[in-house]
A = this chain, B = another copy of it.
């Protein structure tokens, strides 16, 4: 399979890991949800991230899942999350998944980093651990990691670590950062692909400021693809119309900690996975929340009909 490059664009869907209610991996659903993502416009997949319940998997399970998704995805690039407290785990998992045909690996900074120079030094070590030539996605997600990375620091990392080909942008607020990075490129900095996370809630603005697409797991990847495509064609109002129709649901899905249960509930209701179950200690939606999601889904459908 081909490797990730700094030209990557479109929608890389953060894939869920389907489980049966008893906690075992549901491989049939894993195939189904992979197909589901690809049929709805995914240009790439990202697996074994926080929203893929990677921490709840044994190493053996993680590799089996990576192997299965990579094979199923065919020519579509698959990025694998390998963030870990230690470099040894990053090295091991990176080597394994690149052997299996992954397009690259994604690495978030460990939460104990504080100063600019610590962050820069970390990505030097992390890229070495990932292996020379392994494309790396830098996940910039301060709300979750507690690590704030200046645009200037990102640019220094991009300059020093040429294996970093993509930024998963989910700083919040982060729009000015997208602009700052694109401006720096205009002045000669190496181009890096910018795909946006944060549940997608700023996707129209991010695209207008020069992002290349989305990397998030919102349960309607077709919307992400539509927004990215419209933005690519300069149809910003159409992009925003579609986006706005989904926003009340998207906002609900973005709740920290609860979001994955919402996402799996929606995916199950769409038939993409058999069960909305999270592996313990995660819990599914309670009745009140499920009712709220159902209502938002119905309203979204109604609004979309008005748009046509």
Contacts and interface: CB of A to CB of B under 8 A. Distances in A.
Given A172-B256, A205-B292, A292-B175, A59 B59 contact: yes
A190 interface: no
A240 B248 contact: yes
Interface stretch (A6-14, A32-40, A109-117, A214-222): A109-117
A85 interface: yes
A160 interface: no
A208 B248 CA distance: 15
Given A56-B86, A58-B91, A248-B240, A172 B255 contact: yes
A257 B116 contact: no
A41 to B, nearest CB: 22
B114 A255 contact: no
Interface residues of A, number: 59
Interface string A95-129: 00000000000000001001111100100010000
Given A116-B150, A209-B288, A251-B251, A92 B58 contact: yes
For the complex of A and B, list the 3 residue pairs with the smallest distance between their C-beta atoms, beginning with the closest. A55-B86, A173-B255, A114-B148
Interface of A: 54-59, 61, 84-89, 91-92, 111, 114-118, 121, 125, 147-150, 152-153, 172-173, 175-176, 179, 201-202, 205, 208-209, 237, 240, 243-244, 247-248, 251-252, 255-258, 280-281, 286, 288-289, 292, 299, 303
18 contacts: A85-B85, A87-B281, A114-B148, A115-B116, A116-B116, A117-B150, A173-B255, A173-B256, A175-B288, A175-B289, A175-B292, A201-B251, A208-B292, A209-B288, A237-B299, A240-B299, A244-B303, A251-B251
